[in-house]
Amino acid sequence: MAITLDQIKSLREETGAGVLDCRKALEQAKGDFTLAVDYLREKGLATAAKRADRETYEGVVELYSHGNGRVGVMVEVNCETDFVARSETFRTLAHEFALQIAAAAPKYISDKDIPQSELDAEAEIARKRAKEEGKSDEIIERIVEGRLEKLKNEICLLRQPYIRDDSITVEQLLMQNVAAIGENVNVRRFVRWELGEEVG
């Protein structure tokens, strides 16, 4: 089956992948657009990590207001080029991050951002609780470790289950898009406000 330029163009617009990658994906999928998109995503997951060290100075600041103005989110998402920053795929991804932040209220982007003092305090609480329940020292350390992992999954954006598909994490969503877009993408910073919350 011959692959047309229109098919390649459509796939490129949808995924942001390079022309040659789009042609190869369409050939592999025998012209099936959906399979070609899936192929690019699967192929890219393996290569997304290679792009992680690339500098990201372009991007967008996405603003989102939820619940008639009860929750507001501002998130900066970066990429490598202004071409990608203007693409619909990239802007949709930035919007998805804003929705995730509004809905799941993370405190940090990744577990590297959590202050050690917060982890130590949480570990101490878990340790005391386990001791009060009469657990052995060996089990206490496993309980503490489990509690810290659970906490990281709750408060770190990239570790949270994606609100539209909880079979993947936000980090996996990000990697799928890095693969499809063909550039490094990262969440640089965010802030979330909720009406009536205490200002710390």
Residue span(s) of the chain under CATH 1.10.286 come to 115-154
* Sheet arrangement for strand 186-194: 58-66, 71-79, 186-194
SS3 call for 188: strand
SS3 call for 105: coil
CATH, domain range 58-110+156-194: 3.30.479.20
What pLDDT is attached to residue 8? 84
Residue span(s) of the chain under CATH 3.30.479.20 come to 58-110+156-194
Domain 115-154 in CATH 1.10.286? The answer is: yes
- The series of mean pLDDT values per 10 residues for the chain, 200 residues long, is 83 71 86 83 58 77 93 96 92 97 97 94 92 86 92 96 94 87 91 83
What pLDDT is attached to residue 46? 46
User: Homologous superfamily of 5-51 in CATH?
Assistant: Ubiquitin-associated (UBA) domain (1.10.8.10)
DSSP collapsed to 3 states, 10-34: HHHHHHCCCHHHHHHHHHHCCCCHH
* Residue from 177, 166, 172, 8 nearest 91 by CA: 177
CA distance 100 to 96: 6
What pLDDT is attached to residue 199? 65
CB 78 within 8 A of CB 57: yes
CB 156 within 8 A of CB 113: yes
